A and B are shown apart, each in its own frame.
Chain A
Amino acid sequence: MAVIIRRVEFFLITLWAAVTINFILPRMMPGNPAEAMMAHFQGRLNPAALHALEVAFGVNTKETIWQQYVQYLGDIVHFKFGISLSNFPVPVMHVVMQALPWTLTLAGVTTVISFLLGTLIGMIAAWRRGGIADNLMPPVFVIISALPYFWLGLICIYVFAVTLHWLPSGFGYDEGGNINLSWTFIHQAITHAILPALTIIVTSIGGWILTMRNNMIGTLSEDYVRMARAKGLHPMRIMIQYAGRNAILPNITGFAMALGFVVSGLLLTEIVFTYPGVGYLFLQAVAAEDYPLMQALFLFVTIAVLAAVLLADVANALLDPRIRAR
């Protein structure tokens, strides 16, 4: 129990620090949102528009930075995030909620799949060390994960969408389709997600395979594994319950972090596949110095990662008696 209370205290302090940095950092960037908007339109706007934009965005406000900070903390507590400047005049929450479900589904599902699959492959590879799986899988996936994602994505589009016509080349659903809970839409959403999901899984799985394999090799030389073998237990039971269960412990925190970062989206996937999501919002918010959107997004990621780490700590404490004993 004491462990968990300590973790919660740590969580709250980190959250406050993150929220404060979140406030300070964007304001230390050179330029302002109105200038960023002018730059975004690349000479397309009349120079007089700068003044209009500054008025609309509340640039050059008379409030002191301290007043702004207090206001900001108050707004966060009430989940008020204001209006997005780069998507002016749409409210931040609307912009985020439009993108978040796509990201949570795609990134969430692919993270889980690639963790489970990667762990399994890593486990088998280590178990049959020097076998076909061990010689083939880790190097292949590590090489794939080192390929530029952009290039891989475009190749997949070229092969599966343009040449073979098996899958759509982009977007979250069919052109002209409606977002609702009908079977047609769900079917569309799944077909459109296959290619992005596939590319994410094959590029991210290598890391899981490698770490799991290495952890596993370590645990396989432990005495308790040797004892299990000596007892004549079924090899599957040794692999999963004796070696696997211990080897996965360090990876659980990594997995929790990855789940937390799901909220930050998949920038390159979204760009290559014109897929809706949070990743591009991040880029847009930072490029446009869209403070309200940036603050909301960073806050969500911070909370998600911290919460995931907290949960992982709790899970680790439950799974591993050694942590509780300390």
Chain B
Amino acid sequence: MRIFLLLLAFVVSGCTPDTTLRGDPLDVMFLQMMIPHHEQGVAMVALAEDRASSADLRMLAAAIESTQATEIGTMKSWLTSWGEPLTAPPDSHAGHGDMRRTNPSEISRLQGLRGFEFDQRLLNVLIAHQDDAVQMARWQSGSGAHQEVKSLAERIERSRVAQIELMKRFLDQV
């Protein structure tokens, strides 16, 4: 059966299986969901520089901003190299609005806050946001195909879990 399917794939595409097999559908869906999720996170943490009162929070937010920006670049480059769109088609599951994401009006709420109130709100929102990322990453590393995508998902899981622990400590100090 497997040989039959691979043969068919070969015939349909006209190249060798290894170059035909582009993005695994699950990897592609994960990346198409993760990129906007990351971008939303970047938009939120970017607000900390001018608004947060805690220096620790400003430092963490800046580090999250730059590490997630790098991850976005990596994820986009994979999709591009597979010839896949960077965003999910609107009729797909990922495009359904099923995707875990922070309430879009949160950005404008955060923009209106300063100091202690900003710190508390950002920490709570970001804990929830990164907790969603942990869920998506766990799901991917259990079911994904490409090892490099799985490795990224595992790093996302570990770093977000650690960020949440750090942020819960910051919250206790706010």
Are A and B bound to each other?
no
Binding site for B on A (CB under 8 A): none
Residues of B within 8 A of A (CB): none
